[in-house]
Amino acid sequence: MRSRQIAVLALAGVLALSACSPAEPAAPPPPPLHPAPGAGSAGDPYFPEDGNGGYDALDYHVDVSYDPPSGRLDGDTTVSAKATQDLSRFDLDLRGLDVSGVEIDGKPAKYSREKNKLVVTPAEPLRSGSTFRTRVRYSGVPAKTPHDGGSENGWARSADGGAYLVGEPHSASFWYPVNETPRDKATFTLTAHVPAGWTVLSNGRDQGSSAKDGKTTTTWTDPNPIASYLTTIAIDKFTVQRSTLPDGTPIISGYAPGAEPREATGDRLPEVISFLESKFGKYPQSAAGGIYLDENIHFSLETQTRPTYAKWAEILTLVHENAHQWFGDSVSLNSWADICLNECFASYAQWMWGEREGQNLDDRYRAAVEITRGSTDFWGQKLVDMGPEHLFEGAYDKGILAMHALRRELGEPGFERVLHEWVGQHRNGNATWADFEKLVSKVAGRDLSGFLNDWFHGTKLPSDADLYPGGLRP
């Protein structure tokens, strides 16, 4: 009996020890915060006031109501972002419009305006690595916001009372708060409310429309990351045409009043995309189409999935702007000094279309060289790091010759490999001119820095060997 009691007591002791054993160690406390303001610039020296630091934008949900007679816009935009440092405050780019309230994760935040910046101070610092949602309510008449001209069109009202927005490098900040730099691509959704009888076109896929109380609400979503200057909105009494690419990708094109005669050009989009796929690889976007304005603006723009066309646009413009869906949209530049990554490729796509139509590009190249041989203005155009004042110059003429010379330097298999690998490696991301030069030399199997410097960095007629590579010599 005693031995049994001892055994029971011993077992009870073991159980007591087990019950009192230490619990799992508590998680260590988070490291102390060291909050600081996010940078007021993305760091591109060409546009040092553009963009912001301290966070990575992940998604924009832009909700706007627009009244065509008055031109008034009421906006309610939510920016989802991830902090890349401990943030005491951060900036968003926003031009002109009046802000009535800012919230972060549902809590009111302080805000102020400094030039084209909306400065936001959260109620509590944001920890590095945390995801947060910033909601901004705002209103105004965006067409009254000053813009710089050139390729910055700002918010514009069409002749029949509608509105459209195209601009490069600035457009998004005219109508919603944004980190306005190509370095920070994000997904994008627009929900727009307009009076009955008006139609809204934007990027990506149409998520449907509804009508209530004399207003039409339409939602568009692009699931692919998009650089802010490639987002758009167009409001008009569009004639809308719908179809699909052979793989089912939706095509939606809208023709403003007066632009209907260009439907025959727009109908050739599947043919254009099929041709570009044969050169660059599979179409990289979630949707396709076009916004055809009856406006005499001096440029069209490669707004993602759905380029916006001026009234003079024709088939070569379709080729150019849709080539950008690979070069510039899917693969975006990291710095504006590398604009040739966008424009040289898209411009050369027009020559390749001409080749498809039977043109001899070698003859065309030689003729262009002879015509321009004595022009210091033509050959003095730098194609890389040309300076912000020359951003949209040489890529459209000298850039075409440079791309054809590169094609002959690499040979057909090498050039085709460069095109496919470039868009494959950097799809939905950003890349630099230095990345491109590395790829070219890798594919060539030799150092092509001399050739590339002669053509893309130089300011005079290239050396004879670089001017006539691969059998181009007359």
DSSP secondary structure, 44-93, as one string: -TTSTTS---SEEEEEEEEEEEEETTTTEEEEEEEEEEEESS-EEEEEEE
Q: Which of 291, 312, 330 is the last residue of a domain?
A: 330
Give, rounded to a whole angstrom, the gap between the first and last alpha carbons of the chain.
116
Q: Are residues 282 and 242 in the same domain?
A: yes
Supply the pLDDT for residue 461. 97
Residues paired with 240 in a beta bridge: 254
Question: Could you tell me if residue 260 is inside a domain?
Answer: yes
Does 4 or 470 have the greater pLDDT score? 470
Q: What is the CATH number of the domain that holds 393?
A: 1.10.390.10
Give the pTM: 0.93
Tens of pLDDT along 101-128?
Answer: 999 999 999 999 999 999 999 999 999 9
C-beta of residue 173 within 8 angstroms of C-beta of residue 116: yes
* Residue 275 and residue 340 in one domain: no
Please say which residue of 330, 353, 378 terminates a domain: 330
Q: Is the same domain home to 215 and 361?
A: no
Lowest average pLDDT, out of 1-15, 60-74, 238-252, goes to 1-15
Last residue of a domain, one of 302, 330, 358: 330
% of the chain with per-residue pLDDT over 70: 95
* Residues 238, 34: Cα–Cα separation, whole Å: 52
Query: Residue 85 domain-assigned?
Result: yes
Percent of the chain at pLDDT > 90 equals 91
Its domain, for residue 445, covers: 336-467
Same domain, 459 and 357: yes
Using alpha carbons, select from 306, 352, 297 the residue that is nearest to residue 329. 306
Task: Give yes or no: residues 310 and 408 share one domain.
Answer: no
Q: The tokens of 38 are what?
A: 């996010």
Mean pLDDT of the chain: 94
Q: What is the mean pLDDT of residues 58-70?
A: 98
Cβ-contact 163, 114 below 8 angstroms: no
Separation between Cα atoms, residue 328 and residue 342, nearest integer Å: 5
pLDDT of residue 23: 63
In this structure, is residue 311 part of a structural domain?
A: yes
Q: Are residues 102 and 238 in the same domain?
A: yes
pLDDT at 75: 98
Q: Please tell me what DSSP assigns to residue 394.
A: G
**Average pLDDT of the residues in 80-85:** 98
CATH code for the domain in which residue 281 is found: 2.60.40.1730
Q: Do 293 and 422 belong to one domain?
A: no
pLDDT at 2 over 70: no
Averaged pLDDT, 366-389:
97
**What is the tens place of the pLDDT at every residue in 10-52?**
434 433 434 445 566 777 788 899 999 999 999 999 999 999 9
- Structural domain count of the chain: 2
Place of tokens 């939606």: 252
Measure Cα distances from 393 to 241, 311, 344, 388, 400 in Å: 34, 22, 11, 10, 12
